[in-house]
Structure 1
Amino acid sequence: MKKILVIEDEPTVRANLLKLLDIEGYQSLEASDGHTGIQLAEQHQPDLILCDIMMPELDGYAVLEALRQNPATAMIPFIFLTAKAERNDWRQGMEKGADDYLTKPFTRSELLAAITMRLQRQEAALQQFASERERSSALMEKCAELEQFIDAKDELLNNLSHELRQPLSNINLAIHMLKEAPPGAQRDRYLEILQKEFAREIALLNQVSELQQFLTPESVKLLSQFKLLKSKTSKNFL
């Protein structure tokens, strides 16, 4: 049920408005002056406000200005109800942020049409805001996934870099030892190490080539979930 706040200092007019709103199925709140109207708007957050302009102490313009300056009430649809029909009065109200302006006396159908239009526009604006917020949330989630992908990719490449260095280190050491070793079993052992580490280096290079097609945000996310991206310490083959 939509909630409508009526700010009107004339008791008869206010009573008629409240009765009409009740018949149409709206929940209504009433204020007989501007100060009370502002307090009720801040406290109850109505879906729409109907407000007279000519009121003592705090007129409708001051009420509207105060509500528009408060983030909690700034977006509430606001319709002026007034006997003042001058163009300057209308412009003043619209410039201060009023959504509509009904000149007294207005008909029941005119009032209901204005209320319906403003509530529909507010609903459309809220739906658009929710849609934009959802899109923004999805974009932020996508950015977070991309950031995770980049971090995981860097980690994976660092691990591969470490894995590639180990065979090269073993090959270099085996070559050095091979130069110093006399012919025989020891030399054959170093040759065996060279062949083994060379084969491992070629296998790793092939994996790097295949990795270019395999690495996607989805695959990296899966690897991270199964904790397959943790650095591993390579064993020394010597």
Structure 2
Amino acid sequence: MTKILVIEDELFVRENIVELLEAEDFAVFSTENGILGILWAQENIPDLVICDVMMPEMNGYEVLSEMRELPMTSLTPFIFLTAMSDKGDIRQGMELGADDYLTKPFTREELLGAIHTRLAKQEKLRQQYDREHQRAEILEQRVKELEQLQIKEEISHEYHEALLKINTAVNLIKKIQPGQKRDRNLRIIQETCAKEISLLKQIPNLDSENPALSLILQN
């Protein structure tokens, strides 16, 4: 159920608004005090706020400024109620982040129209956020896949280099002729093979994916 916070110091106006909104199946909380309204908003996170401008203790502009500083209400639709028609006052509220202004006295249709317009706009923003969030998750997953692919390509490069060195060493062994340098050359070739085989053993599951290679790695 959509939650609406009504902050209005005039009892008669406040009760009329509450009665009208409850008849439209909104969940309504009302208070005559801006401080109590802010505290309630922190705990309950309303879907929309209707607030009078001229109030004692804390006026509507101060209420709006405080709510825009709170993470849970920074984007909550905010409708001002005022008996004033001065454009400067309206501009001040808009610059602070108000979404709409209703000048007293207003009709039932004007109030409900303003509420439904703001809620519809907020829903579109939420849907847009959800789409962007989903797109960001897809991009993040794609980046991870590309990173994994890059790792596999690097492993593949090291794998082929190591096999090339081992293959070269094997061919050299075949060409070594008996003589004084035979043992020294064999030792150098064996060290080269051992180094490359050690490198291959560090690649996960490489022997399981290449059965023929597993015989080399076991030696």
TM-score per shorter chain, which class? 0.7 to 0.9
- Structure 1 position 131, deviation (Å): 0.4
Alpha-carbon distance in structure 2 between the residues aligned to 1:57 and 1:228: 75
Q: Deviations over 1:3-56 (max 9, x none)?
A: 100001111111000000011111101111110011111111000000000100
Alpha-carbon distance in structure 2 between the residues aligned to 1:228 and 1:30: 68
1:90 equivalent in structure 2: 90
Q: Say whether residues 1:149 and 2:130 are aligned partners.
A: no
Alpha-carbon distance in structure 2 between the residues aligned to 1:170 and 1:235: 12
Alpha-carbon distance in structure 2 between the residues aligned to 1:98 and 1:117: 14
Is the CA contact (8 Å cut-off) linking 2:67 and 2:74 kept in structure 1?
Answer: yes
Alpha-carbon distance in structure 2 between the residues aligned to 1:127 and 1:48: 17
- Structure 1 position 69, deviation (Å): 1.1
Q: Deviations over 1:146-182 (max 9, x none)?
A: 00110011112211221121111011121123xx38x
1:94-173 equivalent positions in 2, closer than 5 A = 94-173=94-173
Relative to the length of structure 1, the TM-score reads 0.76
Q: Which runs of 5+ in 2 are unaligned?
A: 180-203
2:209 equivalent in structure 1: 228
Q: Say whether residues 1:51 and 2:32 are aligned partners.
A: no
Structure 1 stretches of 4+ with a deviation exceeding 2 A read 226-229, 232-236
RMSD of equivalent CA atoms: 2.0
Is the CA contact (8 Å cut-off) linking 1:8 and 1:31 kept in structure 2?
Answer: yes
- Structure 1 position 72, deviation (Å): 1.5
Q: Say whether residues 1:76 and 2:76 are aligned partners.
A: yes
Residue identity in the other structure for 2:209? L
Is the CA contact (8 Å cut-off) linking 1:6 and 1:14 kept in structure 2?
Answer: yes
Alpha-carbon distance in structure 1 between the residues aligned to 2:150 and 2:141: 14
Q: Deviations over 1:65-103 (max 9, x none)?
A: 000011121000000011011000100000010000000
Q: Secondary structure at the match of 1:102?
A: strand
Q: Secondary structure at the match of 2:74?
A: coil
- Structure 1 position 233, deviation (Å): 6.3
Relative to the length of structure 2, the TM-score reads 0.82
- Structure 1 position 228, deviation (Å): 3.4
2:174 equivalent in structure 1: 174
Matched pairs, number: 190
Q: Which runs of 5+ in 1 are unaligned?
A: 182-222
- Structure 1 position 227, deviation (Å): 6.7
Residue identity in the other structure for 1:142? R
